[in-house]
């Protein structure tokens, strides 16, 4: 694993999660003098700690998580005798910036937009039940207890998309950072060479009693959507903006004239994401103090008749107030449903893998049963207890696993692997059930497992 480069602004993180395991249940019996019918008194294991994500307005980068990607929650304590339940493992909460999108296996788990919004990222395992839970009138002294359920373990990807109302775009040195510094308290780096801005900057703008957030992203160049320059790394940060202010340098950029430069930026935005081409865009011709600016302004008005064009000077403040007047007029009219939404659930709930199972074959010829339910069942079975074997076989028959294996072609002597355990298959019916508590009749057939490895 390669560590992310040191940077004040990190907007992606690859994390490795392990929620806490549940505690094992206890199998014990109450034995006290003069108490003839003590019975089972094994306590339950505690619940393993879960891992939560919480969006916080006080955080602006994923750097803390990116540099500490291995996140583990606390395991729970086992149960004990005298019906003593184990302590729960402590939950762990990770704080991320608002606008963080969480992905697992390429699918969006959640989009955390609001301050305080929480997501149960990795669920802690439930505690195993002690033998008190298995007591019935037919089985008054059960010698069964469960192991704790393993906590969830997987990799996830976090991606930050800055939440701002207004995004500033344009070629390098168009004056985006200068404008942001003049209208807000943000202090981005300003210099007279290209790519001065290496990461997005956000400032809160207050104008005539109205406030909004403005984001300045690094300058774009032709081919930015294909990875040229820095723009492709940060274009995602203007996906959520309501309005784009396209700053134009009257001298153009390189060999490009100003009107051609506008077309290039528009094309790059559209190529990156179609939604960017549909956003309300305002052209702002900067550096009005230059002698050629007036002529360029007239040319732009003829070329882009459908766009609002403002002549400003970010350095002196000329024309900036009129630009902001137009911005605060447009912002309330833009509806939330018109904005970019991460493809995935809109709530903080995430549907975990299903309860079914799938049967396949591995290279050694063994039948491999995979599925969240059966793998959890194997992990929680205490194979040191003979009665737990009986219970496992009953459950296999109840959920249809016996029948499915036989239909898949499993025969006597074949090996079946479920999770970390491997069993030898036999579809022969035992001559008689176990005496006492787990004797039961078999209607068709029964899988008899043995030789655990």
Question: Which residues, 6+ apart, have CB-to-CB distance to 412 below 8 Å?
Answer: 425, 426, 427, 428
Residue 343 lies in a domain: no
User: Is the dihedral angle over the CA atoms 149, 151, 155, 158 positive or is it negative?
Assistant: positive
- From the DSSP assignment, how many helices (H) and strands (E) are in the chain? 10, 18
Cβ neighbors of 35 (< 8 A, separation 6 or more) are none
Q: How many C-beta atoms surround the C-beta of residue 244 within 10 A?
A: 20
Backbone angles phi, psi at 150, to 5 degrees: -65, 140
* Amino acid 425: pLDDT: 80
Closest C-alpha among 114, 56, 50 to residue 76 = 50
Q: Are residues 392 and 307 in the same domain?
A: no
What pLDDT is attached to residue 346? Answer: 43
Average pLDDT along the chain, 453 residues, taken 10 residues at a time = 54 93 95 82 96 91 91 97 95 93 88 91 96 91 94 93 84 85 75 52 87 80 48 69 89 85 86 82 90 89 88 91 93 71 51 71 89 90 90 87 88 88 73 36 32 34
Cβ-defined contacts of 335-340 (< 8 Å, 24+): 339/240, 339/242, 340/161, 340/239, 340/240, 340/273, 340/275
Is residue 5, in this structure, part of any structural domain at all?
A: no
Whether residues 204 and 59 share a domain: the answer is: no
**405, 415 contact by CB (below 8 A):** no
Q: Is residue 1 part of a domain?
A: no
* Domain region containing 363: 353-453
CATH number, domain at 267? 3.40.50.300
Q: What's the CA angle centered on 415, arms 411 and 417, to 5 degrees?
A: 130
What's residue 452's pLDDT?
Answer: 35
Position 292 scores a pLDDT of 87
User: Which tokens hold the place of 144?
Assistant: 């069964």
Q: Is residue 365 part of a domain?
A: yes
The two structure tokens encoding residue 313: 């000077």
Domain count, the chain: 3
- The answer to whether residue 185 sits within a structural domain is yes
What is the pTM assigned to this prediction? 0.74
Q: How many CB atoms lie within 10 A of CB 12?
A: 14
Residues 172 and 155 in one domain: no
Domain identity same for 152 and 172: no
| CA proximity to 131, closest of 121, 141, 117 | 141
Q: Distance between CA atoms of 453 and 451, rounded to whole angstroms?
A: 6
Same domain, 49 and 22: yes
């Amino acid at each position: 694993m390669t560590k992310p480069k040191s940077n004040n602004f990190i907007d992606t993180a690859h994390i490795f999660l392990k929620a806490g395991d549940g505690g094992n249940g206890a199998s014990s019996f109450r034995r006290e003098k003069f108490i003839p019918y003590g019975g089972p008194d094994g306590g339950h294991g505690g619940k393993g700690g879960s891992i939560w994500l919480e969006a916080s307005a006080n955080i602006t980068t994923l750097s803390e998580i990116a540099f500490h990607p291995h996140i583990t929650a606390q395991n729970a304590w086992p149960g004990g005798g005298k019906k003593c339940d184990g302590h729960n493992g402590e939950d762990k909460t990770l704080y991320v910036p608002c606008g963080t999108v969480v992905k697992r296996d390429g699918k969006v788990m959640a989009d955390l937009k609001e301050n305080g919004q929480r997501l149960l990222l990795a669920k802690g395992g439930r505690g195993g039940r002690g033998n008190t839970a298995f007591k019935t009138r037919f089985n008054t002294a059960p010698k069964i207890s469960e192991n704790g359920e393993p906590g969830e373990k997987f990799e996830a990807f976090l991606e930050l998309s800055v939440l701002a109302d207004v995004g500033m775009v344009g070629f390098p040195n168009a004056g985006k950072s200068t404008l942001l510094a003049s209208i807000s308290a943000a202090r981005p780096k300003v210099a007279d060479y290209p790519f001065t801005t290496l990461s997005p900057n956000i400032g809160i703008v207050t104008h005539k009693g109205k406030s909004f957030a403005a984001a300045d992203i690094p300058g774009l160049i032709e081919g930015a959507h294909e990875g040229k320059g820095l723009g492709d790394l940060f274009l995602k940060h203007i996906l959520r903006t309501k309005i784009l202010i396209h700053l134009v340098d009257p001298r153009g950029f390189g060999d490009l004239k100003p009107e051609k430069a506008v077309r290039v930026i528009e094309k790059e935005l559209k190529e990156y994401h179609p939604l960017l081409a549909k956003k309300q865009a305002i052209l702002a011709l900067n550096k009005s103090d230059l002698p050629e600016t007036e002529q360029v302004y007239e040319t732009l008005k003829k070329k882009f008749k459908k766009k609002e064009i403002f002549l400003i000077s970010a350095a002196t403040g000329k024309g900036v107030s009129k630009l902001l007047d137009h911005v605060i007029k447009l912002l309330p009219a833009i509806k939330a449903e018109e904005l970019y939404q991460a493809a995935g659930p809109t709530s903080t709930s995430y549907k975990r893998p299903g309860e079914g199972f799938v049967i396949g074959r591995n290279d050694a010829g063994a039948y491999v049963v995979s599925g969240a339910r059966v793998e959890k069942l194997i992990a929680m079975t205490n194979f040191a207890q003979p009665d737990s074997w009986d219970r496992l076989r009953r459950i296999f028959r109840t959920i249809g696993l016996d029948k499915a294996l036989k239909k898949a072609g499993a025969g006597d002597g074949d090996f079946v692997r479920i999770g970390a355990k491997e069993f030898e298959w036999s579809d022969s019916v035992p001559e008689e059930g176990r005496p006492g508590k787990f004797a039961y009749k078999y209607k068709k057939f029964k899988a008899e497992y043995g030789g655990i490895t």
